[in-house]
Structure 1
């Protein structure tokens, strides 16, 4: 792949979209391009994760661990797999398999962390974007919690009404 194509592709990734041109060029130049054949395993569940993978071409299927290999989704060009691995030491939560010929841009955590250390403006923007994302997630979860609490109150009232009506249906439901 060409450097310009890699840069354009990396710019599609929300986590990387704020990188200025010079830093994006450095990131694209320093990352590793890796090709996989159809059906080739990129990584397995439980494996130490030391890099994020941006899909350049083809697709990657994520499969749950276990006998049945539950399909967790298939991702195409511009998708970042392993975002958490760019930020902290972690393990792969799923198995990844190439669907057709697939190319990825592999960004090692060490490279990503070095970029953040050498360019604190990028780190600040990344932190602000992640914080906004977490605030939005927390807000959405709070709304879900409110709805669940309301359902629980209604369920308790229903059970109490049934108990008063003669104990019918008060078997812990």
Structure 2
């Protein structure tokens, strides 16, 4: 639960929401060089960094290094297109928490106030921390919440 609290998406979630989310998370050990998500592949999981270091490769040669517990990737699971728009690779051995696409969709569809909070936190995070990141909203990338 501490790692979930460190993730900006869940910082304002209630204790009961955090407990619910925690039950859906699966710990996964990763090895240096391991690919967790490949651009264009079916988006199956959302990732939260516990330890180690990850590289999120974006379009246009841009990238983000994830090195802080609570950093996250994979909200592509919410798009109607359902494919990853970036690639995620382990730069160091470590651990991530994963949640499967169906479980995450169930979570946000069952609890609209929590879903709104998660999406608002995500939007603020992109605006404040990743201003260079463009999030296209077209018919292929409509979000399912």
TM-score by length of 1: 0.60
Q: CA offsets per residue over residues 127-151 of structure 1, 9 Å max, x none? A: 5x26974xx79xx9xxxxxxxxxxx
Residues 26, 100 of structure 1: alpha-carbon distance in 2 compared, 3 angstrom cutoff: same
List aligned pairs for 1:90-101, cutoff 5 A.
90-101=82-93
Q: Which residue of 2 aligns with 1:102?
A: 94
Residues 61, 93 of structure 1: alpha-carbon distance in 2 compared, 3 angstrom cutoff: same
Does the 8 Å contact 1:18/1:122 carry over to 2?
no
Residues 31, 14 of structure 1: alpha-carbon distance in 2 compared, 3 angstrom cutoff: same
Q: CA offsets per residue over residues 37-76 of structure 1, 9 Å max, x none? A: 11111122211112210011001112357xxxx5612112
TM-score by length of 2: 0.70
RCO (CA 8 Å, sep 6+): is it higher in 1 or 2?
2
**Divergent runs of 4+, >3 A:** 124-127, 130-133
Superposition RMSD on alpha carbons, in Å?
A: 2.9
Q: Which residue of 1 aligns with 2:141?
A: none
Give the unaligned 5+ runs of structure 1.
1-6, 141-173
List aligned pairs for 1:23-62, cutoff 5 A.
23-62=17-56
